[in-house]
Amino acid sequence: MRLDAHVVVRRPTFTLDLSLVVEPGEVVALVGANGAGKTTFLHAVAGIVDLTDGHTRLGSRLLDEIATGVHVPTEERRAGLVFQHHVLFPHLNALENVAFGLRARGVPRKDAHERSCAWLDRLGVLEHAERPAARLSGGQAQRVALARTLVVEPDVLLLDEPFAALDETARPLVRDLLRERVFDNELPVVLVTHDPSDARALAHRIVALSSGRTYPDRRSPVAGRRSPNLTHAI
Amino acid sequence: MRASSRRPDRMAAEQILGERETLARPTRAARRRRAGRAPLALLVPAGLGLLFLSGPFVALLLRSPWGRLGELITSPTVLQALWLSLRTATAATAVCILLGVPLAWMLANTRFRGQDVLRAVITMPLVMPPVVGGVALLSLLGRRGLLGAHLDAWFGLTIPFTTTAVVIAEAFVALPFLVLSVDGSLRSVDRRFEQAAAVLGASRWYEFRRVTLPLVRPSVVAGGVLCFARALGEFGATITFAGNFPGITQTMPLAIYLALEQDPDVALALSLVLIAVSLAVLVGLRSRWLAGLTGVQR
């Protein structure tokens, strides 16, 4: 799957204008100061924020195109957005949070719970499955939020500051977790962060955003990870 | 407002309680410290106000025919009226929840022209004399009413002066309590929970049932309790629209009013019963739901 987005969002105080193509299996880090428009970009791709102009294409599906009036509602986009502060449902436990998306699609409870448990296990938080979301630590909530997003097999993964709510000791663990258990050859990933070291450690490419506009891209070598298949890049 | 520094369960509770509670907490202790210096000009009217509110209840308790109480409140008329009151107030509360929650959702989640007018219309039964409500209901559903005439002609349905009319009258005056309570709570729900549900593929209906409704449940319960209390005490609209037939439309407040003219002791005894029922409902639900809300076992 390939993400091809040209997102223009006009606000009274600033305008976001960002063109971004993310190839299958590619990890692009979007860096920039607070208020640069990073989160707005992710939310626009997820359909939470409406575009003022531009388009969003995911694989063969057209999600947004202002010129032709195409707009696919959020719930039909298959865009895996992981919110900055996880936004787990406080009235559900970890397992119910993960199973939420499957249950919403009508997957029977038993099946949904089995698939959810598999993801909780893969991300190392199966032992907390029964714990209410409100009583999970920052790192645990992070993993549950990831599992909740990935279990519904999204076509793109949008990570909003995945390290913001973590303490220093947990960060390398989550980096490894993302590299080894989450990123694969198919899924395009947009990683929003304000920390260049996280971007360098995880991304194939870094896009710097400032006041809604990009600075020239620069390639980033990723230590210990083969580069993804970029043969059909433009 | 940064959410990360706060525990999510506190967050949820605060959303439900609204900002007022959060702001009130730190100042409460400060207020208590200064209470010794309360000026006389405030203290005296405050004391009078308290007396004014509690005096009638004290008098009611003192004047009650405690000796004959058992005999009075187990008479068939009283039991009949009590049973009717409980049934109709429960039904009215159910109607209020079924209609009021969706109405509150529409108010909180949509933008359309005339929304302020709609909100005013919903609030009307709250500020209007109940008797007027009864007359209004009669003009719609009465035998010669706008709709009632047709119901009568086409289906042989007559609503006024039936138990159904009691439920309608009670629901009519109680509905605003539920709508206002739930509307306020819906407005303070963190939008991101609904966004998260949508991103995960939930339809708006699924999102409402599994995310929004559980988050505002305390306000639905609180509104429901208010509705029940209001319905239980309904007098004006009921007697206007439903009349005063023992066993069919004679609820407790009507029975009390009638008894006052014949035997004041019966009126006092009935009042005690009504106070006890109201208190039992409030105390029972309050402690249970407050415990659920704050995570504190009581």
Residue A80 has pLDDT above 70, yes or no: yes
Rounded Cα gap, residues B264 and B274, in angstroms: 15
Which residues does B178 contact at the CB level (< 8 Å), separation at least 6?
A: B96, B97, B100, B101, B104, B220, B223, B224, B226, B227
Is A106 within the bounds of a domain? Answer: no
The amino acid present at A189, given as its one-letter code, is V
What average pLDDT does the segment A205-210 reach?
A: 87
**A173: its two tokens:** 């663990």
Mutate to test the interface with A, among B5, B199, B208 (most CBs of A within 10 A): B199
d(CA A63, CA A47): 8
- CA nearest to A157 within chain B: B199
Question: Quick one: average pLDDT of B190-213?
Answer: 93
Q: Crossing angle, helix B264-294 and helix B76-109, to 10 degrees?
A: 40
Beta strands A3-10 and A15-22, pairing class: antiparallel
Residue A213 has pLDDT above 80, yes or no: no
Select the residue from A91, A109, A142 to test the B interface by mutation, using most B Cβ atoms within 10 A.
A91
Q: From CA B156, how far away is CA A107, in angstroms rounded?
A: 48
Residue type, A45: V
CATH number for the domain harbouring residue A227: 3.40.50.300
The residues near B82 (Cβ < 8 Å, ≥ 6 apart) are B252, B273, B277
CB spacing of B201 vs A152 below 8 angstroms = yes
The reply to whether residue A104 touches residue B196, judged by beta carbons under 8 angstroms, is no
Domains in chain B: ranges and CATH: 76-291 (1.10.3720.10)
Do the Cβ atoms of B199 and A79 come within 8 Å? yes
Q: How many domains does chain A have?
A: 1
Residue A176 lies in a domain: no
Query: What's the ipTM?
Result: 0.87
Instruction: Please give the average per-residue pLDDT across A147-152, as a whole number.
Output: 93
In a domain, residue A154? The reply is no
Res. B119: pLDDT tops 90: no
Cα torsion through A57, A58, A63, A68, rounded to 10? 30
CB B139 within 8 A of CB B146: yes
Query: What is the rounded distance in angstroms from the CA atom of residue B282 to the CA atom of residue B122?
Result: 24
Q: Structural domain of residue A73, as residue ranges?
A: 1-78+185-234
Residues ≥6 apart with Cβ < 8 Å to B174: B92, B93, B96, B226, B227, B228, B230, B231, B234
B37-53 confidence digits (pLDDT tens): 788 899 999 999 999 99
